[in-house]
């Protein structure tokens, strides 16, 4: 690595409370502690305040939107703003995320000549997204396609109908510090963005209620749900109806919780239900960590306890059943509360696999080398990259023209 500081720009949709945003924060913290400069471009959100103070955040409206919603004039203005931010801040390499930041970054490369790559943090964004599919296939051929697990890549291969060869680097998760005294309070914890792709929370609430009604021992437990989003009011009303029927508050929707308060919730819960980064945070605390599904086919069920299968290191969410057998959330929670040995073994398996597979410093050292590798790829293959992106531009303009025709004739 050159002695001159490298500046990494993260171009991402939002900085709200969620796993992808925690991922960015963790990477930024390590990078600034290890001699990098960091710029984050997004549409903002409550998690901006959790970025390290050395990181620069610039809010850019429209970065989360598809190019097809802009008029030509609007999109030209937007691209000019993005280009100005990147050049003014003397960015050396851009890590662009899905769904649309990578599309925007690719569209201005010929003007910025700044090395960039796609790092896919959510595979479901590939549904009905031809521009993302196209640019991913282009970048795959240039060794500029990254994602988090082999399972995510399998899904993307399915929707792009292409054999892909990503660089797979796990999520760098900063483990929640252990406490001398762990209270193990009687509550089930779930932490997620309450959006349509996290609809497992609805089924978790219903199964919690069913178990509460029939299992006397479970009546000592509560369900604590952390997160905000489009489904918050609907799920809060569902919880309120159940609480009213039972006659006390057994289901709590806490909204946004951050920092030490969130750490305490992880440290003291009896078990966790979720996916992605939050699942790993629970595992880092040695909690039985129940894997939730991510699609309409899978989100009604639990898919085992993370860590009990060594392959779980590559499985943070379930998109398709595969070889796993579904069980209800009710059954998964009941197994934990009715067997101390089951609870202990599930928690032990979770923390052991976390420590083995998600070492924060090791993963970030990989990224340090990858950023330099990406810079070198562009330096050594500039003409090839320009040609590949010309082909992509033709597709990009074709989709925009189709969109304009659809709008004009209201097809």
User: How many structural domains are present in the chain?
Assistant: 2
Going by C-alpha positions, the residue among 163, 116, 107, 171 that lies closest to residue 144 is 116
The pLDDT, as a whole number, for residue 180 is 52
Instruction: Please name every residue paired with 94 in a beta bridge, in sequence order, or none if there are none.
Output: 9, 116
Mean pLDDT score, 248-276: 94
Category of 130 on φ-ψ map: left (φ > 0), alpha (ψ -120 to 50) or beta: alpha
Mean pLDDT score, 335-343: 95
Going by C-alpha positions, the residue among 51, 40, 38 that lies closest to residue 7 is 38
Dihedral sign of CA atoms 108, 111, 112, 114 in order? positive
Mean pLDDT score, 277-293: 95
Asked if residue 3 has pLDDT above 80, the reply is no
Domain hosting residue 193, numbered range: 187-357
* 265 pLDDT tier (thresholds 50, 70, 90): very high
End-of-domain residue from the set 340, 357, 374: 357
Let me know if 368 is exposed, middle or buried by CB neighbors in 10 A (0-12, 13-18, 19+): middle
Asked if residue 302 has pLDDT above 70, the reply is yes
The pLDDT, as a whole number, for residue 361 is 94
CATH of the domain at 352: 3.40.50.2000
pLDDT tens for 51-90 read: 999 999 999 999 999 988 898 899 999 999 999 999 999 9
Structural domain includes residue 180? no
Does 219 lie in the same domain as 296? Answer: yes
Does 307 lie in the same domain as 279? Answer: yes
Asked if residue 394 has pLDDT above 90, the reply is no
End-of-domain residue from the set 338, 357, 376: 357
Contact 56, 40 (CB under 8 A): yes
The pLDDT, as a whole number, for residue 317 is 85
Mean pLDDT score, 335-350: 96
Does 321 lie in the same domain as 204? Answer: yes
| Average predicted confidence (pLDDT) for the chain | 92
The pLDDT, as a whole number, for residue 1 is 43
* 242 pLDDT tier (thresholds 50, 70, 90): very high
* 261 pLDDT tier (thresholds 50, 70, 90): very high
The pLDDT, as a whole number, for residue 406 is 56
Structural domain includes residue 95? yes
Does 346 lie in the same domain as 228? Answer: yes
Structural domain includes residue 366? yes
Let me know if 310 is exposed, middle or buried by CB neighbors in 10 A (0-12, 13-18, 19+): exposed
Q: What is the largest CA-CA distance in the chain?
A: 69
* 221 pLDDT tier (thresholds 50, 70, 90): very high
pLDDT tens for 25-50 read: 999 999 999 999 999 999 999 999 99
* 391 pLDDT tier (thresholds 50, 70, 90): confident
Mean pLDDT score, 351-380: 96
CA distance 403 to 406: 5
Contact 91, 105 (CB under 8 A): no
Global confidence as pTM:
0.84
Structural domain includes residue 182? no
Structural domain includes residue 178? no
Structural domain includes residue 1? no
Does 24 lie in the same domain as 134? Answer: yes
Mean pLDDT score, 151-179: 92
The pLDDT, as a whole number, for residue 2 is 44
Does 62 lie in the same domain as 13? Answer: yes
The pLDDT, as a whole number, for residue 402 is 67
Give 362's contacts (C-beta < 8 A, 6+ positions apart). none
Structural domain includes residue 179? no
- Would you call the peptide bond into 99 cis, given omega within 30 degrees of 0 as the criterion? yes
Residue 165 Cα to chain centre, angstroms: 20
Which percentage of the chain shows pLDDT scores above 90?
75
Does 51 lie in the same domain as 158? Answer: yes
């Amino acid at each position: 690595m050159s002695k001159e500081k490298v500046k990494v720009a993260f171009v991402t949709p939002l900085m709200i409370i969620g796993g992808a945003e925690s991922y960015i924060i963790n990477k930024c913290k390590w990078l600034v502690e290890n001699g990098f400069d960091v710029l984050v471009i997004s549409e903002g959100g409550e998690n901006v305040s959790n970025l390290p103070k050395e990181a620069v955040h610039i809010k850019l409206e429209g970065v989360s939107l598809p190019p097809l919603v802009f008029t030509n004039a609007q999109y030209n203005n937007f691209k000019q703003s993005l280009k100005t931010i990147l050049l003014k801040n003397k960015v050396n390499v851009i890590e662009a995320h899905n769904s649309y930041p990578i599309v925007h970054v690719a569209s201005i490369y010929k003007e910025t000549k700044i090395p960039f790559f796609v790092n896919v943090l959510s595979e479901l964004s590939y549904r009905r997204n031809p521009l993302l599919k196209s640019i991913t296939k282009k970048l795959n051929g240039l060794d500029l396609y990254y994602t988090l697990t082999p399972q995510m890549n399998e899904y993307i291969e399915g929707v792009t109908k292409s054999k892909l060869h990503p660089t797979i680097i796990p999520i760098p998760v900063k483990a929640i510090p252990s406490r001398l005294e762990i209270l193990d309070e009687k509550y089930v914890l779930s932490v997620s963005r309450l959006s349509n792709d996290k609809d497992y929370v609805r089924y978790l609430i219903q199964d919690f209620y069913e178990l509460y009604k029939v299992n006397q021992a479970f009546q000592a437990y509560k369900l604590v749900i952390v997160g905000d989003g489009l489904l918050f009011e609907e799920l809060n009303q569902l919880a309120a109806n159940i609480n009213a029927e039972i006659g006390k508050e057994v289901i709590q929707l806490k909204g946004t919780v951050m920092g030490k308060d969130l750490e305490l919730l992880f440290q003291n819960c009896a078990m966790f239900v979720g996916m992605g980064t939050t699942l790993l945070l629970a595992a880092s605390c040695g909690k039985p960590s129940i894997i939730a599904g991510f699609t309409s086919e899978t989100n009604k069920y639990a898919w085992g306890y993370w860590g009990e299968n060594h392959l779980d290191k590559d499985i943070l969410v379930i998109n398709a059943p595969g070889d796993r057998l579904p069980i209800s959330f009710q059954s998964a929670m009941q197994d934990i509360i009715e067997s101390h040995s089951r609870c202990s073994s599930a928690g032990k398996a979770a923390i052991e696999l976390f420590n083995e597979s998600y070492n924060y410093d090791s993963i970030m050292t990989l990224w340090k080398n990858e950023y330099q590798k990406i810079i070198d790829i562009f330096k050594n293959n500039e003409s090839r990259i320009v040609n590949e992106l010309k082909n992509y531009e033709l597709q990009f303009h074709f989709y925009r023209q189709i969109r304009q025709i659809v709008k004009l004739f209201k097809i």
